[in-house]
Structure 1
Amino acid sequence: MTGEASALVPGLRVTERDVAAHPDTAEDLGIRSTPTIIVRRDDGTEVFRSPGVPSRDQLLLAVAKAL
């Protein structure tokens, strides 16, 4: 999904976290299940969170909100 999002939105910055290897990071981010997709604005404000895989349309709408 992240590869598809990056292909659809040029300049999109995607960061993947290995929460199994870094459970402290998962806790800090409030991640309780995997996958969890979080979309943030450049200032760090969270505009979308999906525990589970969102649809492509949901993800594109979230990215639009972040821009």
Structure 2
Amino acid sequence: MPELTVTLYSSSFCGACTSTRHTLDLVASVLSTSPLDDRITWREVNVADRPDESEQHRITSTPTVVMTGGDGTEVMRATGVPTSEQVLAAIAKNLA
């Protein structure tokens, strides 16, 4: 069972979502050979397709990245384009 879920909330008209997706793909690739890989689930949610989930997580703009622990508690949120260093630091902090 994953201990951390990283969700990108995006929209089809969002140019910055492409940059955020690239950042998260890069981090996932770096971690793919790490023991942490099995502890993380990566998701992308289009806010137009999943309005209930987006509302539940109070998504007001895209891109927004939300990390949740295994119990569903939000442990990190980034609105806009996070750096790979920010994403890696949040993962390390929450899986230490």
| TM-score, normalised with respect to structure 1 | 0.84
Are 1:58 and 2:86 counterparts?
yes
Paired residue for 1:2? Answer: 24
Q: Where does the alignment leave 5 or more consecutive residues of structure 1 unmatched?
A: none
Q: Matched residue of 2:71: which SS?
A: coil
Structure with larger RCO (C-alpha < 8 A, sep 6+): 2
Paired residue for 1:49? Answer: 77
CA distance in 2 between counterparts of 1:24 and 1:44 reads: 16
How many pairs align?
67
Task: Read off the aligned partner of 2:28 and give its amino acid letter.
Answer: S
Paired residue for 2:34? Answer: none
CA distance in 2 between counterparts of 1:28 and 1:57 reads: 27
Residue-by-residue CA offset, 1:8-61 (whole Å, 9 max, x unaligned): 222231011110122221111111111100112222222210011111111101
Q: Structure 1 vs Structure 2: percent identity of aligned residues?
A: 39
TM-fit CA distance, 1:2: 2.2
Coordinate RMSD, CA, aligned: 1.3
Q: Which runs of 4+ in 1 moved over 6 A?
A: none
CA distance in 1 between counterparts of 2:93 and 2:67 reads: 9
Task: Read off the aligned partner of 1:3 and give its amino acid letter.
Answer: D
Q: Where does the alignment leave 5 or more consecutive residues of structure 2 unmatched?
A: 1-22, 32-36
Please point out which of 42, 60, 80 is paired with 1:14: 42
